[in-house]
Chains A and B, each alone.
Chain A
């Protein structure tokens, strides 16, 4: 659990060959301010008191680590679910937004912008903005607004303005473009709460540190339940990769712990409709970061596809690109239908309806190769309420 190691970014924000801050000059002062201040603010005792207090009393942390016995029996291994779905607003996303809104206040910002895919980060941002009485604008792809309607209503109810991103594939990538353009246009009073471990340095590190509470709790809880802080496997889904970064964080330097990152294969890796960046991606620059991304031979970013709005992103965070290329994490791809079947399975075996994103991680259990004596921790990053419309539409596939 040391702070200086090969999985921490260097001063320029590089994890190995990935990371950095490839931003136009218009964003430079904002990003520089954040870079110069985030570590001291995060370390500040007042900040920590506020942050830990809100995580406990508002978010509802620590979240339980639940031993899923029927699921364990099915896969003949010992599976624990880290119940991030029980966080206020229904996903891990709020760990980051609580931290960043406190940071934004200390930077003297009074307007907040965010991008969102599945809507969970948008809701988590709108929530903390309501709590702090701050103006909130959330960019969301038009396609995602349609497939995650309940979250659009929630954001509006919370007082946020939801602006549709109408360019490109009208999903998460385009919402991120629009949020960045907003920040370019409002450089002084606005803080951009990025929802994943993507974007220019220091965002990937900032978001990873704020989500690291997940693995910090897992270690303590696992010690109580199994007598060891270390599982054999940690499994999490990856779009940009924030819940995976949080679940992996305090295990990065524990080589006995296998880290499994699960991407969305959409209709299949080679179908042309996929979001499996670690397989289909090559090194390049997306949203200010050098990382793996899906692009054509001319460096144009290609449109990803996943039924899941939260995984429908053509890049992964630079930390994950580093973990993948160095072999520290194993990447697995799961197709839409496999994820849908996993939704039904968890619902019926454990009485927990997972988010479609999370279901990708669940569907990877059968490829894990975990034995009866192994301990598997799966980060149950979000709950499925927002996906009910999708689940209804695919009801036949869910139960097949």
Chain B
């Protein structure tokens, strides 16, 4: 079965920009306009953050955007309502939902997959969904709705586990750049990060790779793209949206600064 994520990696072999934003931030109604703007500005993939009260893997910037989004009233039913019809306006750019397991479980995993597929979502990233639980409980469901899971790989992930993640994946591998939560500038001794990226590249994995965490500007984006098919930016966009009246305009400007 075809999927927009696979198509995006067929269209473009390198320098792919995957942009994350938190649904419902900075305003409740910003979700749809931001997706359209990011797609038009040149994002190759878009991750829509589902805000959670206790985002363990996120740094202060995404935590804060999640708090604001929840205060604005963002919920999964609201998000799916906002995404209805999005494929008429953004036909090709892959959309992924990213968030934590608990709100999805309360919504119901099957209902979640059904609604996601219905609005044209292509992939799902749930960092606290264990691999083994996915395999045993949800893999069939994801397949039935043609949703592609994305799993994280870190510098500490053992090679055999990377192989297993690669086997379970039909989209891309999310390479966490270094130790830390989202938005942290990975502080590692020079050469350590390169060695890690090169080690993964040398494994000749089935799936393309995108590097995320701490990618904040054109320099870090270009550098990451030297080791993988592309990179993921989240916190830096959220920072650029903070306090902006016109979120789509700020997003356009931000993406332009990366792709210039």
Interface residues, chain A, CB within 8 Å of chain B? 12, 20-26, 28-29, 167-168, 173, 177, 180-181, 184-188, 284-288, 295, 297-302
Contacts and interface: CB of A to CB of B under 8 A. Distances in A.
A155 B28 CA distance: 43
A187 B179 contact: yes
A169 B20 CA distance: 26
Contacts of B128: 22-24, 285, 288
A33 to B, nearest CB: 10
A284 B101 CA distance: 9
Nearest to B77: A298
B156 A20 contact: no
A28 to B, nearest CB: 7
Interface string B63-107: 100010010000110000000000000000000000011111111
A168 B128 CA distance: 20
Contacts of A187: 154, 156, 179
Contacts of B56: 24, 177, 180-181, 184, 287-288
A227 B76 CA distance: 59
Contacts of B156: 26, 28-29, 187-188
B75 to A, nearest CB: 5
Interface residues of B, number: 38
Contact of A286 (B54, B57, B104, B179): B54
A185 B156 CA distance: 12
Interface string B213-231: 0000000000000000000
B52 to A, nearest CB: 7
Given A168-B54, A286-B54, A299-B106, 5 more contacts: A24-B127, A177-B54, A185-B181, A285-B105, A299-B102
B157 A299 contact: no
Residue from B100, B154, B158 whose CB has the most chain A CB atoms within 10 Å: B154
A271 to B, nearest CB: 20
B104 A299 contact: yes
Nearest to A23: B128
Contacts of A173: 54
B102 A285 contact: yes
B21 interface: no
Given A25-B153, A185-B181, A285-B101, A298 B130 contact: no
Given A25-B151, A168-B53, A301-B54, A284 B105 contact: yes
Residue from A12, A167, A186 whose CB has the most chain B CB atoms within 10 Å: A167
